[in-house]
Structure 1
Amino acid sequence: MRITELLKKESIELGVKVSSKEEAIDTLIGLMAAGGRLNDRAGYKEGILAREALGSTAVGEGIAIPHAKVAAVKEPGLAAMVVPDGVDYEAFDGSLANLIFMIAAPEGGADVHLEALSRLSTLLMDPDFKNDLIHAESKEEFLQLIDDKESERYEKKARKEETKASDAAPAVHETAKSGAAGYRVLAVTACPTGIAHTFMAAENLEQLGKKMGIPVKSETNGAEGAANVLTKEEIAAADGIIIAADKNVDMARFDGKHVVKASVSDGIQKGEELIKRAVSGEAPVYHHTGAAASEEGGENEGLGHTIYKHLMNGVSHMLPFVIGGGLLIALAFLFDDYSINPANFGKNTPVAAYLKTIGEQAFGMMLPVLAGYIAMSIADRPGLAVGFVGGMVAKMGATFMNPAGGDVNSGFLGALLAGFIGGYIVVLLKKVFKKLPKSLEGIKPVLLYPLLGIFLVAVVTTFINPFVGAINDGLTHLLNGMGGTSKVILGAVVGGMMSVDMGGPVNKAAYVFGTAQLAEGNFDIMAAVMAGGMVPPIAIALCTTFFKKKFTEKERQSGLVNYIMGLSFISEGAIPFAASDPLRVIPSCIIGSAVAGGLSMALNCTLRAPHGGIFVLPTIGNPFGYLAAIVIGSVVGCVILAALKKNKTEA
């Protein structure tokens, strides 16, 4: 789709006089409506103003691009207005806006228009083209200028790419000369709507890089997803990274690189400054402490990695509900009086009752949220509602005989399955409705996907609930029936698993198991899991403190930070040490973690929150026993590591 297909003559106005930003917006909305692009003018204006509230869409140099992606839009379109005298659009550089394009995009609609919109944003970075548009004498000339520029720029680019493909071997040779990937600076650009600023910032950084003699590659996180994705080889070879984004982007891949963070507007207005900072070597080195993010999009992922990625998306969004709700429930017991009514402990006093009620409501959201975000990871936004409902049906334990639920305990496993089922149901629906006429594209995300997706996931989840409930009940009976020795072994296993890969799949498997058992009321397993996860950093910190000859000066300094990370339950603090000496560090940590997990079980320690480390100690059952388990496990890990490592002077 070309830009001129989105911009009708009825939606263009030249030589306009407006006195304020508000008047400019109203005029443009009128032009958009005149082009037949809107089904709710007021709703569209609300979306435009909501975007402006995040920050002015003026990009400086006399240009503004207000935009909104909302349900009030009937079909994608553009409106354009030339204001010869300019209007104050709250631009960063203080310039008056002479050229204003307004973008309308339908929420959840087909994305065929997004490439055209990104092209327009890119073309407007050319000052000569901008001036030609401002001085156009007719609407026809205005449209012709856009059409000619788009053809010149993108047909030329296509020919270049064909030439580059035919000369692939020499190109590879040249790239090898200039580094692993040829780019000194890599950039990621993103704005909340992903329509205009994302692409303008990317284009500006790349063009400035050419002028400065510093090759720059920009990845755009637009409304249709990531494009021009950075590869691992490019990241490894780059001198610095620029994140010009107003929303979250995948950061795990930049671990250990110099990263400059800025707003997407800075990518447009302060590009030269950002590039200089990126190559100076003075930008902070980014250290990722969360779960590893997905690999680059262009690679084929194995089935196991795909499942893991979707599951972790659900778990990461679920955790705030579990942590917040679990801590509020735990606090309710602290503020209650057991002697009033032991059977109602946790709700005897008004404060306790309030905390426990709110905590239970937040905690109860964990299963729908888990399922919803698993489905969203699989099927994008249309999967969210379908997964949520699937998780809710699993939480209710609904069956065909009793749709209201309560007969079975589908729980965490049921919600997990509902998330995957819901996500792939939406993927299937997308394929089924792929050949619908374009005129019906808008009803797919707002009617067909939610209606059929919710119905189908509810039916399937209702069918599997009894079977999943039987598995859950069997597991619960098994855990409850475990004797002392069996429970200690279980604690040692899950504790040890937390140290196998410290933030990797095995670690996460143990953590998810512990979190799932919270929902079933098995609080001792979660306690063993957290104890096991706290040991590796603490054990290493102890070893760097008491066995200094085993480490370099730099390692000893890094080791001190691990006290804080370990006490905060951040296992990843041990990763640099494990990576440099895996054969000694990992076995030591596994044994220490297993000891801590086993002792936690043996001492009947419980934990109602899945995170927090030492800071949630008041909410832990048998807190002194828990501290003892962590200390003993850490000391064991420290001593084994010291015995295995040689003095640095001996190495």
Structure 2
Amino acid sequence: MRIKDLLKEQCIELNADKNINTKENVIGRLLELMNNSGNIEDIEEYKKGVLQREEHCSTGIGGGIAIPHAKNKAVKTATLSAMVIPEGVDYDALDGEPSKLFFMIAAPEGGGDIHLQVLARLSTILMDEDFKDKLISAKSKKEFLSIIDEKETEKFPEEAKEEKNSSKGGYRVLAVTACPTGIAHTFMAAENLEQKGKKLGISIKVETNGADGAKNVLTKEEIEAAEGIIVAADKNVEMDRFDGKKVIITKVSDGIHKGEELINRAISGDVPIYHSSNKSKESENAEEKEGIGRSIYKHLMNGVSHMLPFVIGGGILIALAFLLDDYSINPANFGKNTPVAAYLLTIGQQAFGLMLPVLAGYIGMSIADRPGLAVGFIGGMVAKMGITFANPAGGDINAGFLGALLAGFIGGYVVLGLKKLFSKLPNAIAGIKPILIYPVLGILIVAIVTTFINPFMGMINTGLTGFLNNMNGSSKILLGIIVAGMQSTDMGGPINKTSYVFATSQLASGNYEIMAAVMAGGMIPPLAIALCTTFFKNRFTEKERKSGVVNYVLGLSFISEGAIPFAAQDPLRVIPACVAGSAVAGGLSMFFGCTLRAPHGGIFVLPLIGNPFGYLISLVIGAIVGCIVLAFLKKPLAVTE
């Protein structure tokens, strides 16, 4: 943490006014300079912290120097202000001499011990009398900063070398963002982190693990040179490359909402070191803080994110087969009456049929790394085939989504157990573990366990499927209201994903109405906000109205995250309005009997939706309801722009 990074010209005053002749005047002027940084949310609150520190003991350290400081909740990011009073002021210094050179340190409450680090650095370099005299005699703010930079470079040469390397293409902070679907949260978190980095003057590079793969990938050289790394992800990302580095592991929503806090923490040094193997106590504690529930959620979302392309691609091809086929040729063979339809249906069914093994395989891989992939995949196949000890060929039962999900977790933890069991093998034969021991024993064990639980999973799946298929009238509409309303509660968060995963799971059982209701619910938040910013402009700022236009595209594309900035600023009004609109759209979708075979696509798959006209009506009415409720809840701005 270099002084020049924390001290800006607007926070410096040389040859201060002679009227600043008391300790109180000095603190007051330093506070004014500090406020120029824009990094203090409440200057009066910060002032209390400074004065409390002075009551404890004067920060006039002697030798003509005073360094008042405070770690305070009013501080957004670490900042310095500085002032020179050549004639000196009685600051109650420890040596009783007047103070001429002043530095004030502001540190955020959650910023670790950054204020102590800066205090120690200032105290060290100010021990040099020539350096101190040069600062007091500086003719300009630029010269003042240049003198500090020169001294820091001399005193901390290794740090200067690292900064030089960084200027050649390195970054102080690196980040990786990833969400289960890899569509919206991933890029929103990346954009926020980049914006906050620019605001703080801290160089940052963000790698996005989106639906189309990793972009802006971090290089080995960049990782080696970085001070800290942020991994904001709701699914597993490649972590071995960060071995030995200070890494913050958090959820992707923190990247969207807490970017500044994460960056400040990354450069503070108060971050545990990540170890990819033989974990240190620090990294183990970091995982414990994440919690079992959070860990399970990440493993599940890792499986779901890899499964979705198979479901979406296969589902749309199946829907296209029915759309292009001729029902009148042979109703009993609908979907395969024409060569084109038969081809599309066959390919779609093969892709769709892999959803459960892929789900289980990537859950297993998320838990146990690469050795867990094959074990989880076979567990998912055993669940999909419905194999039992009574019928090894399978086909009698349908363990479905729940069976495959459980098989994935079983497979992953079986491999972890095998890793521990065979961890003491001699190095000479350790190479056989990933190519022989893990796949053979892992596949056998997961197959036996999954075969054992298949009948129970089959009963649960059959019961749930039967219950949903028998729902009609008001009960079916109520289900649509609930699952669609859940889409708007946290817009891409755990509740939203619970609804989405439930709907996706029902695709494998042939319940297509739930998916249609869920997609309708997810499309409403951005559409409702877009409509409201268009027809009730006096409720929004100019910036919000411009963002509202973009939400038309996001809503039609089934990207509910477009509503997040609005919900974050005004959750008590925006979220209830969006939930109301989504619930209406979901209920109407169920009422009209709309169906959807693919879990994504938005308006672009409308021709493939069962009863597309009814679905369009559901969307329009839901968006209007959300818009009206939001307009009712939000008051017009005092002055429209």
**TM-score, reference length from structure 1:** 0.60
Match of 1:419 among 408, 422, 432: 408
CA distance in 1, matches of 2:176, 2:589: 47
What do the CA deviations read for 1:372-413 (whole angstroms, capped 9, x no partner)? 011111111110000000000000000011111101100111
Q: Is the 8 A contact 1:209 1:215 kept in 2?
A: no
What do the CA deviations read for 1:314-354 (whole angstroms, capped 9, x no partner)? 00000000000000000001110001111111011100000
Map residues 142-221 of structure 1 onto 2, 5 A cutoff.
173-174=116-117, 206=162, 208-209=164-165, 216-217=172-173
Cα 1:169–1:455 change in 2 (3 A) is: closer
Map residues 267-286 of structure 1 onto 2, 5 A cutoff.
none
- Give yes or no for the alignment of 1:510 onto 2:499: yes
Residue of structure 1 in register with 2:535 after alignment = 546
Which amino acid counterpart does residue 422 of structure 1 have in structure 2? G
- Give yes or no for the alignment of 1:496 onto 2:485: yes
SS of structure 1 residue aligned to 2:598: coil
How far residue 306 of structure 1 moved from its aligned partner, in angstroms, is 1.0
SS of structure 2 residue aligned to 1:440: coil
Map residues 392-407 of structure 1 onto 2, 5 A cutoff.
392-407=381-396
How far residue 208 of structure 1 moved from its aligned partner, in angstroms, is 2.6
CA distance in 1, matches of 2:161, 2:501: 41
SS of structure 2 residue aligned to 1:438: coil
Q: Is the 8 A contact 1:292 1:503 kept in 2?
A: no
Which amino acid counterpart does residue 174 of structure 1 have in structure 2? Q
Residue of structure 1 in register with 2:636 after alignment = 647
CA distance in 2, matches of 1:336, 1:176: 76
What do the CA deviations read for 1:509-529 (whole angstroms, capped 9, x no partner)? 000011111110000000000
Map residues 191-340 of structure 1 onto 2, 5 A cutoff.
206=162, 208-209=164-165, 216-217=172-173, 239-240=201-202, 242-243=204-205, 261=216, 264=219, 298=283, 299=286, 300-340=289-329
SS of structure 1 residue aligned to 2:290: coil
CA distance in 1, matches of 2:378, 2:334: 32
How far residue 207 of structure 1 moved from its aligned partner, in angstroms, is 5.1
Cα 1:340–1:169 change in 2 (3 A) is: closer
What do the CA deviations read for 1:207-258 (whole angstroms, capped 9, x no partner)? 535678998256799xxxxxxxx9x99996653554487xx6599xx9xxxx
CA distance in 1, matches of 2:624, 2:391: 53
CA distance in 1, matches of 2:633, 2:119: 41
Q: Is the 8 A contact 1:541 1:559 kept in 2?
A: yes
Q: Is the 8 A contact 2:174 2:206 kept in 1?
A: no
What do the CA deviations read for 1:427-472 (whole angstroms, capped 9, x no partner)? 1111111111111221111111111110000000000000000000
- Give yes or no for the alignment of 1:354 onto 2:343: yes
Q: Is the 8 A contact 2:526 2:555 kept in 1?
A: yes
Match of 1:343 among 323, 332, 343: 332
- Give yes or no for the alignment of 1:366 onto 2:367: no
Cα 1:214–1:385 change in 2 (3 A) is: closer
Residue of structure 2 in register with 1:604 after alignment = 593
Q: Is the 8 A contact 1:335 1:352 kept in 2?
A: yes
Cα 1:220–1:597 change in 2 (3 A) is: closer
Which amino acid counterpart does residue 373 of structure 2 have in structure 1? L
CA distance in 1, matches of 2:378, 2:160: 43
Map residues 532-543 of structure 1 onto 2, 5 A cutoff.
532-543=521-532
Q: Is the 8 A contact 1:291 1:504 kept in 2?
A: no
Q: Is the 8 A contact 1:500 1:586 kept in 2?
A: yes
- Structure 1 or 2, whichever has the larger Rg, is 2
The CA RMSD measured in Å over matched residues stands at 3.5
CA distance in 2, matches of 1:650, 1:364: 57
Which amino acid counterpart does residue 617 of structure 1 have in structure 2? L
CA distance in 2, matches of 1:170, 1:371: 44
CA distance in 1, matches of 2:365, 2:291: 19
Cα 1:428–1:213 change in 2 (3 A) is: closer
Residue of structure 2 in register with 1:531 after alignment = 520
How far residue 264 of structure 1 moved from its aligned partner, in angstroms, is 3.6
Q: Is the 8 A contact 1:394 1:418 kept in 2?
A: yes
Q: Is the 8 A contact 1:379 1:424 kept in 2?
A: yes
Give unpaired runs (5+ residues) of structure 1: 1-167, 179-202, 222-229, 255-259, 272-289
Q: Is the 8 A contact 1:400 1:463 kept in 2?
A: yes
CA distance in 2, matches of 1:601, 1:379: 40
Residue of structure 1 in register with 2:280 after alignment = none
Cα 1:332–1:580 change in 2 (3 A) is: same
Amino-acid identity (%): 65
Cα 1:460–1:492 change in 2 (3 A) is: same
Q: Is the 8 A contact 2:514 2:595 kept in 1?
A: yes
**TM-score, reference length from structure 2:** 0.61
Q: Is the 8 A contact 1:536 1:566 kept in 2?
A: yes
Cα 1:177–1:361 change in 2 (3 A) is: farther
| Runs of 4+, deviation exceeding 3 Å | 168-172, 175-178, 203-207, 209-215, 217-221, 232-245, 248-251, 260-268, 290-298
CA distance in 1, matches of 2:300, 2:112: 41
How far residue 650 of structure 1 moved from its aligned partner, in angstroms, is 6.6
Aligned residue pair count: 423
Q: Is the 8 A contact 2:171 2:204 kept in 1?
A: no
Which amino acid counterpart does residue 482 of structure 1 have in structure 2? M
CA distance in 2, matches of 1:490, 1:169: 47
Which amino acid counterpart does residue 371 of structure 2 have in structure 1? P
Q: Is the 8 A contact 1:291 1:503 kept in 2?
A: no
SS of structure 2 residue aligned to 1:522: coil
Match of 1:481 among 470, 474, 480: 470
CA distance in 1, matches of 2:206, 2:626: 42
CA distance in 2, matches of 1:236, 1:579: 17
Q: Is the 8 A contact 1:368 1:395 kept in 2?
A: yes
CA distance in 2, matches of 1:587, 1:177: 50
SS of structure 2 residue aligned to 1:398: coil
